[in-house]
Amino acid sequence: MAKVVSVHSFRGGTGKSNLTANLATMVARVGNRVGIVDTDIQSPGIHVLFGLDDQKMGRTLNDYLRGRCAVEDAAIEVSHVFRDNQVSVAPGSALYLIPSSIKTGEIAQVLREGYDVELLNSGFRDLIKKLNLDYLFLDTHPGLNEETLLSIAISDVLVLILRPDRQDFQGTAVTVDVARKLEVPKMLLVVNKALVSFDFDVIKRQVEATYNATVAQVLPLTEDMLQLASSDVFSLRYPDHPYTKGVQSIADQLLQ
């Protein structure tokens, strides 16, 4: 059975899509077949990290939800990121992205009309089967709405991202409570964008005490990430960077 991993944050701007892309590539490169679905239909963006634009995407998750194609027809193999960065991968590795449309009309239609969330759920199951996936990563929309609740509910692992910020702390408390009520089997907290001047061990202890949940890693705010400007998967471009080592630690916990 494939493992479903939802990557979520209560507020935007936490680095959720970047973390999803980095985790997925790390899990894929050790010999796993990995899919990523951009379920942030209202504000999609993870496709940018894999060098995709409107012309390169073809079918999208929106096409599937409108009945215009099978869900696997919207899958784009993005294993090229390993070759582009001259990164070796284990036999059997494969990485797929199911992007959401970045066309203004498609996004407006979703905002205006919504879509069948149950169809989205069946799409996840079909995708796992058709692509023979070992892991399915769901890059969710920030906050709590119907599709994020679905993503959380069907997850084997919920990776919940927050910044060392009071607003993030309050919103994360709500999400942690919801995840527990939905009986998510495993929940990992990730504190992202921590200033390097902070004591990461103290942050980890404080967050774990606040939520009574495991903090998988505290990740640094890095100028190198800002300079890359989402033009590539950071961990592949900077394999020895402290951020990359932190993400590798989270990936190792997902692989257990």
**CATH no. for residue 42?**
3.40.50.300
pLDDT at 188: 97
pLDDT at 145: 85
What is the domain extent for residue 35?
A: 3-255
pLDDT at 115: 85
- Residues 89, 31: Cα–Cα separation, whole Å: 7
- pTM of the full structure: 0.96
Give me the number of domains the chain comprises: 1
The secondary element (H helix, E strand) that includes residue 225 is helix 223-228
- Residues 248, 26: Cα–Cα separation, whole Å: 7
pLDDT at 61: 95
- Whether residue 94 contacts residue 79, with contact meaning beta carbons closer than 8 Å, is answered with yes
| Structural tokens at position 124 | 């996840």
pLDDT at 6: 97
Beta bridge partners of 244: none
Q: Which of 155, 142, 225, 164 minimizes the C-alpha distance to 188?
A: 155
pLDDT at 114: 84
In tens digits, the chain (256 residues) has pLDDT values of 899 999 999 999 999 999 999 999 999 999 999 999 999 998 999 999 999 987 788 899 999 999 999 999 999 999 999 999 999 999 999 999 999 999 999 989 888 888 888 899 999 999 999 999 999 999 999 998 888 899 999 999 999 999 999 899 999 999 999 999 999 999 999 999 999 999 999 999 999 999 999 999 999 999 999 999 999 999 999 999 999 999 999 999 999 8
Beta bridge partners of 162: 191
pLDDT at 226: 93
